Chains A and B, each alone.
Chain A
């Protein structure tokens, strides 16, 4: 129920963000307000609502959400607001370092975050740029969600999406994310998704342009009952594994596949806004990293948690779910996003803008 309501608010994400900025500015100037507010910039449907309610009750504060539906959209909001106006941010691993350099996020205060001890230290090792500024939230894969009841045969490769057959034309949805869109095209072509080779990039961009007419829209699947995948308007989509799992609960015919070419393993981090209410943000992070809270959250969202204590407390069925925890053979085909040279970023951004923003 609550998720549905939240999902509907996605549309006014940017507007809310702007309001949030102004309100937050006000709260800084007058901290002794009757109820403190925590502004959280994040994906929609990406936190257990009960946890939020518990935190609000416990701390006597309000948590207000601002949503984005792609990392690029978040970057744009941050660029426009110069990183101001948010107490808590959900950022992908590649963005943490950039935000830190811009000074948009604050360094972590370890003393205010005792529950960070439950986190798997390997994440800091895997993403060095995040150390001291980002707390891993969830990790997952990018794969293909499709309606098994509406396709002739299972979709097992990215190429089936990038060069769709007639049945899929006009009923495809692709993530509006420069990393995922271009990276998976590179994977479909058999290249590394972190490739900086101009020829490979050109080939990938060409593939995407070629595919574009068959794509119904670029964006993230809605998780509410208005979702295009549920209605059948879209029968195949590039999707995150957790989102697919949530939709499967509503439509059993939905399948999620990590394609044969492999996929991206992503990790989301929480970061504290440089200009926000850091104490409250740290409190909320710490609250979410209490093993019990982290476990409830993971179970609710069908995503793998980096909180080892929480993970240990999760039931066996969850921990064995390949959707949440891909088998090692699958993981072997996958890659992590790495920071790219500036020129590669420029090329990708340019191509991505041309594809997604072109009317």
Chain B
């Protein structure tokens, strides 16, 4: 997803959610408030309706009362004689009535009724000449004993008729009410039009509805509302509303004409029931409007934000980023100084500057890398990589043109010794001078492009010469080179005579590709070395058979060391008296991915021949020390580990420092390391070697003589050096039971060692008979398949753990070993991994000095 889209997706909700939330809150509160206000509106409307009608009724009743007690009325009522009544009293009465009507225009008719209900005098408004009250209804009032405060509502005429008795006193008294005679009634007909007009102005919204019902539930007034679009008449709706039995200020919802209404009801003056209703749409209208506004606001703000973001992002970030991206891609494609027009002072500008800087640096590094990749830093010649490319190019060219090509493989004789004796610094200088001399010798050919000189690595150089005129030219060239080398080299005020061996391979005779040519030249070079060095050899096909395997193994070993393909195996050494674990011998193991396991004697020989033995030794020492340190860290009390040291290694002055450094680096006690050396190493007893050997001894490490009895046996060295232990070679042990001569030798060796205070380890014990025999001879320790084969570090750790968990109880090998010391040898198979190795560490360890 694009940054722009992601930012918009993140930010738009950030704006939209608060707006929507605010909107929702307003909507909710507004809704509640609106409903409350609507209920209040209904309430106040009904209040106004009630007030209006109450005012009207109260005023009318008051006036009617005044009329009934007015002297004119009393005189009129008292006048028994009709002639007198009409002749003398009617006009004053009617004038009174008229005056009331003049004051109150809503008093349409004022009448005087006889006790029997008959109209006797009447004052009627102009335009209200019709009979206003329903005569039948009025007659009904006077059937029985009329209620003095009775009233009639004439819905058709919109009038209210109030009646009040006119009493004629029979006695006059100030102090007590006298008895009365019914003189008649005053009847006041009040128009409701004015009240209705006021009701029509109540502040209920336009959709609102106000209904007035008389005592019988007939709708007498109807204002607003749904009108004709409903099948249910307002009266029925009002009846339903009244049936709810709502108290004064309560509202309720009712459906009418497909709409929901909020209704309130209330009994009002003059026996009217008032119903007020507001359609829910009056509430939802403003609410929907609010909701629409919120949604619109959200949309607008969202769009606005998106637009602003888009523009701002595009200008500030995206465009510069795109330019920077393009620049980065250009850099990736190799265009290291692309045009990058971003110069702002913000982070983007800094990023652009960084990209530009990266390009610049890559540009400078590329030169260096190319130089490093194709040129040897020491000599300035093409390296192995470039040499192969050059050769391949030459081969393909010659293949097309049918020309011949020579490859000369040069190796400086004994260059290793030069390095060892005079130091790498001088070695390097010598090599550089050597290369320069070759290069200058071939200046003409190199300049013409016919020849090339390259350094393959170490002291190996390669010369490629094309356009050979005849087959002998290569030989001549080799001689030329050997002659050029023969002159002494002056290095740091010293003269050095150096020779080289040269192998020559020809295209197309020896091989038809670069690889093959180099290999053939290499093999030819080895032949030159073999025949005495300082010469050259032409490649011969038989060379391939003899030396190829060894070369291959050497290369693979070199690679295996570099790639850490080798492993260390540990073979336990046990005390023969009790069979407890005493120490381990570390053994290097090499399993090639293609060739499988390579036997140690074989790869050790190759290592010795190729000089890799040193590297192998260093690796083994470091590996063992690291393992001891791990055991220590795991809380195991480690036992000493013996390491085989080659003569080459031993003669190096640096061995002491190497071991010392390793012990310190892994924080190990020196007694944990034992060095196994062969008797042959004792031959060279130059003072320097003796010092080196003694310095190793002074470190506190143990020195063991390996394969004792097989080599040079000037036993005197045993006394001259601090030797701790001798290891009787497996060849003596193998037939100690059968060969009498060997048995004697073993007995002698053990006796001699005891005499010199040395510890004895018997190697290669494979049978219980051998074990028993060696025990009998007093041999201290033993090593061999009878106890355990060499195992991995994990196996060794297990053996170490077992030995420490059951001190004094466990034994190496099967328990039966102790019980049947003289048993036959046949029951120990070669493949047996041996039993659990265990034993008390309290026992003596081989080579431990006291």
Binding site for B on A (CB under 8 A): 72, 75-76, 78-80, 94-95, 98, 101-102, 178, 209, 339, 341-343, 345-346, 349-350, 352-354, 357-359
Contacts and interface: CB of A to CB of B under 8 A. Distances in A.
Given A79-B75, A345-B83, A346-B121, A357 B88 contact: no
B99 A79 contact: no
A353 B95 contact: yes
**Contact residues of A: prevailing secondary structure:** helix
Given A352-B91, A353-B123, A345 B98 contact: no
Given A79-B75, A339-B83, A350-B90, A357 B121 contact: no
Contacts of A358: 98, 102, 125-126
Given A342-B82, A358-B98, A350 B121 contact: yes
B98 A75 contact: no
A98 B121 contact: no
B726 to A, nearest CB: 159
B75 A357 contact: no
Contacts of A76: 91-92, 95
Contacts of A346: 82, 85-86, 90, 120-121
B86 A345 contact: yes
Per DSSP, are chain B's interface residues mostly helix, strand or loop, or mixed?
helix
A346 B88 CA distance: 10
A98 B83 contact: yes
Contacts of A343: 82, 86
A357 B99 contact: yes
Contacts of B850: none
A203 B420 CA distance: 164
Given A101-B81, A102-B88, A345-B87, A359 B95 contact: no
A203 to B, nearest CB: 15
A349 B90 contact: yes
Contacts of A349: 86-87, 90-91, 94, 121
A72 B85 CA distance: 13
Contact of A350 (B94, B125, B126): B94
Given A349-B91, A353-B94, A359 B102 contact: yes
Contacts of A341: 83
A109 B664 CA distance: 174
B88 A98 contact: yes
A354 B90 contact: no
Nearest first, the 10 closest Cβ-Cβ pairs linking A and B are: A353-B94, A342-B82, A357-B98, A345-B86, A349-B90, A346-B86, A76-B92, A359-B102, A342-B83, A98-B87
B394 interface: no
A346 B76 CA distance: 12
Contacts, number: 85
Contact of A102 (B84, B91, B97): B84
B122 interface: yes
Interface string B731-773: 0000000000000000000000000000000000000000000
B678 interface: no
A310 to B, nearest CB: 31
B88 A79 contact: yes
B261 interface: no
Contacts of B99: 357
27 contacts: A75-B91, A76-B91, A79-B92, A80-B72, A95-B87, A98-B83, A101-B84, A102-B84, A342-B85, A342-B86, A346-B82, A346-B120, A346-B121, A349-B87, A349-B91, A349-B121, A350-B123, A352-B91, A353-B97, A354-B94, A354-B98, A354-B124, A357-B95, A357-B98, A358-B102, A358-B126, A359-B102
Given A350-B122, A353-B94, 20 more contacts: A72-B91, A75-B92, A78-B88, A79-B75, A79-B92, A80-B72, A98-B88, A101-B81, A101-B83, A342-B87, A345-B87, A346-B85, A349-B91, A349-B94, A350-B90, A352-B91, A353-B91, A353-B123, A354-B98, A359-B98
Nearest to A348: B86
Contact of B90 (A94, A102, A345, A359): A345
A349 B89 CA distance: 9
A178 B90 CA distance: 12
A41 to B, nearest CB: 15
B71 interface: yes
Nearest to A341: B83
A357 B92 CA distance: 10
Contact of B88 (A75, A178, A350): A75
Q: Which of B90, B92, B95, B120 has the most CB of A within 10 A?
A: B90
Given A76-B92, A79-B88, A178-B91, A354 B123 contact: yes
A72 B93 CA distance: 12
B446 to A, nearest CB: 144
A208 to B, nearest CB: 12
B94 A79 contact: no
Nearest to A98: B87
A349 B92 CA distance: 10
Contacts of A345: 83, 86-87, 90
Contacts of B123: 350, 353-354, 357
A81 B443 CA distance: 168
Contacts of A79: 72, 75, 88-89, 92
Contacts of A342: 82-83, 85-87
Contacts of B126: 209, 354, 358
A352 B349 CA distance: 109
A353 B98 CA distance: 8
A111 B121 CA distance: 44
Nearest to A73: B91
A75 B87 contact: yes
A75, A78, A94: which has the most chain B beta carbons within 10 Å?
Answer: A75
Contacts of B92: 75-76, 79-80
A98 B102 CA distance: 30
A102 B80 CA distance: 11
A211 to B, nearest CB: 14
Nearest to B84: A98
Nearest to B94: A353
B329 to A, nearest CB: 105
Contacts of B85: 342, 346
A76 B90 CA distance: 9
A166 B72 CA distance: 40
Interface in B672-717: none
Which of A94, A95, A342, A349 neighbours the largest number of chain B CB atoms within 10 Å of its CB? A349
B67 to A, nearest CB: 15
A95 B123 CA distance: 24
A109 B99 CA distance: 42
A95 B72 CA distance: 19
Contacts of A209: 126
A343 B90 CA distance: 11
Contacts of A352: 91
A78 B71 CA distance: 13
Nearest to B85: A342
Contacts of B91: 72, 75-76, 178, 349, 352-353
A342 B79 CA distance: 12
A230 to B, nearest CB: 29
B841 to A, nearest CB: 141
Nearest to A212: B126
A311 B124 CA distance: 48
A342 B80 CA distance: 12
Contacts of B88: 75, 78-79, 98, 102
Nearest to B76: A79
Interface in B143-195: none
Nearest to A78: B88
Interface in B100-133: 102, 120-126
A131 to B, nearest CB: 18
A51 B497 CA distance: 195
Contacts of B95: 76, 353, 357
A111 B483 CA distance: 208
Contacts of B121: 346, 349-350
A152 to B, nearest CB: 31
Nearest to A102: B84
Contacts of B97: 353
